[in-house]
Amino acid sequence: MPLIFDIALTHIAGRGRQTLVAVIGVAVGVGFSIAMAALMQGGQDDFVRQLVDTMPHVDITDEQRTARRQPAEDAFATVAISGLRPRDDRRGIINPTAATSWLESWIPGRFAASLKTQGVIRFSSREVGAAIIGIEPEREPGVSPIVGNFVEGSFSALAAGGNNVLIGDTMASRLGAGFGDTITAVSAEGLTRNFKIAGLFHTGTTARDEGEAYVLLKNAQILSARPNAINDIRIKLDDPDRAPAVAQRAEAELGYKAVAWQEANESILEALVVRNVIMYTVVGAIMLVAGFGIYNIISTITHEKARDIAIMKSLGFPESDMRRLFLLEGVAIGAAGSVLGGLLGVSMTYALSLVRFEIAATGQEMTRLPIAWSLTHYVIASAFALGSAAVAGYLPARRAARLNPVEIIRGAS
C-alpha cells in the first residue's frame, strides 16, 4: 500500500499545473457551497426565530374548528346542509376562569388571556382602523414581544390603571398624535371611550406598529359591551417544539380552536423545506462540475501512463491495485480541494457576517446578514466533493485496470 501511495503522489505531482487547477476548482465549489448554505440557513433560522418570538406558540380563540352538530342531523338519517353560518357568540370563551385555571395546572410555560375587538382610533380629524386588545399587564410580559420595544413611555404605565393606551409609533404618526395626547377609541358596537397615550412602541412589524392598540382588559370589555369576556388565550412554551401536542390537548379539553405556531405557518415551513432541497441540489451540481476537472486529469494520466500500467501488471500488480491507485489520486485531489474549500468557506462566511445594512421600509428590520455557523455545512460540502472526486477517479481507474499489458507493450514496440 505505501508503494501505491508513492506512485499516486508521483502521478499527481507530475502534472502540477492541471492538479492545481482541479484542486482550486474543488476548493471554490466547496467554499461557495459553505457560504451559500451558511447564508440560507442563517436566514431561515432568523425567520423561524422571529416567528417563535413574535407570535404565541399556541393561540386559543373562541372559534370552533368545525360547525356544531345540527339537530336535523340527529333527527334524520341523511341530511344535506348548505350555507351554514355559525352564530355570533359574544360570550367569547365560556367560563374563562375555569379554562385559565385548568391551563395553569399543566401548561409548561406562560399564558395570557385577552379580549380583541376591531374598532377605530380617532385623533383630531384623523382616524385609523385598529385592533383594540384588552390585556392583563401582569401576565402580558410573559407572552408579548412589545414589552421591550418602547421608544417613548413604558409598558408599566398600563399597569398604573386609568384610561391609558399603548399604540405603535407608526399609528401615532398617521394620527398626528404624540405621547401624552388623548385619543378616542370607537368599537364596532358604536361605543366610544377616551384614552391617554401612555406609551409608543416600535416592534419593526408594520401590521403591529400601525394596527394595534393595547388597553386594560376591563376597558376593552366595557368598550365592546362584553363584561367578563375573553376571546383569546396566548401561550408561550418553554419548548416551542411541544406546541402541536399542547394545542391538541387544549382543543380536546376546552372545545375551542387551538392553533400551534407550526400549523399557523405550515405553508411557510414547507416552502423552507423546498428551499433547502434546492440549495443542496445546487451544491451537488457545483461539485459535479468540479468533478469533471478531476475526471479529465485522471483520464489523461491513465492514457499517458498506459505503458507504466502494463509494466506494473506484468510485475504482478492485480487489477484491484490499479483501481485503487487511480481512485486514490482522484480522492486525494478532492480531499485537498475540500481542505482549501473549508478555509475559503470560513473566510467567505466571516466576510458575509460583517456586511451591515439597514432597511426601514416594511416588515422586519435587519441591520446584519443572518449567518449560521454549522459544522454540518462543512461536512456536507466535503462529502459532496469527495463523492464526486471518487466517482471521477473510479471511472478511468476501472478502464485502466482492464488494460491488457501484452497489447500495450506490443503497441509500444
For 294-319, write each residue's pLDDT tens digit: 777 767 767 666 676 677 767 777 76
Could you give phi then psi for residue 173, rounded to 5 degrees? -65, -40
Tens-place pLDDT, residues 41-82: 888 888 888 888 888 999 999 887 766 667 776 777 777 777
In angstroms, the CA 128 to CA 210 distance is 9
CB 389 within 8 Å of CB 330? yes
Mean pLDDT (whole number) for 255-273: 89
CA 252 to mean position of chain CA atoms: 29
Of 30-39, 109-118, 391-400, highest mean pLDDT: 109-118
pLDDT band for position 10 (50/70/90)? confident
Concatenated DSSP letters for 306-356?
Answer: HHHHHHHHHTT--HHHHHHHHHHHHHHHHHHHHHHHHHHHHHHHHHHHT-B
Answer yes or no: is pLDDT of 96 > 50.
Answer: yes
What pLDDT score does 218 carry? 93
197 beta partners: 165
DSSP 215: E
Q: At residue 404, does pLDDT exceed 80?
A: no
pLDDT for 357 beyond 60: yes
331's grid cell: 480522492
CA distances from 394 to 301, 320, 366, 397, 400 (A): 13, 11, 48, 5, 10
- The pLDDT of residue 363 is 44
- Cα within 13 Å of Cα(267), Cβ side: 0
* Residue type (1 letter), 347: S
Residue 368: DSSP 8-state: B
The least confident of 117-126, 134-143, 300-309, 328-337 is: 300-309
- pLDDT of 362 higher than 60: no
Q: In the structure grid, which three cell numbers stand for residue 321, read together?
A: 491495485
> In this structure, what DSSP letter does residue 202 have?
-
Per-chain mean pLDDT for the chain: 83
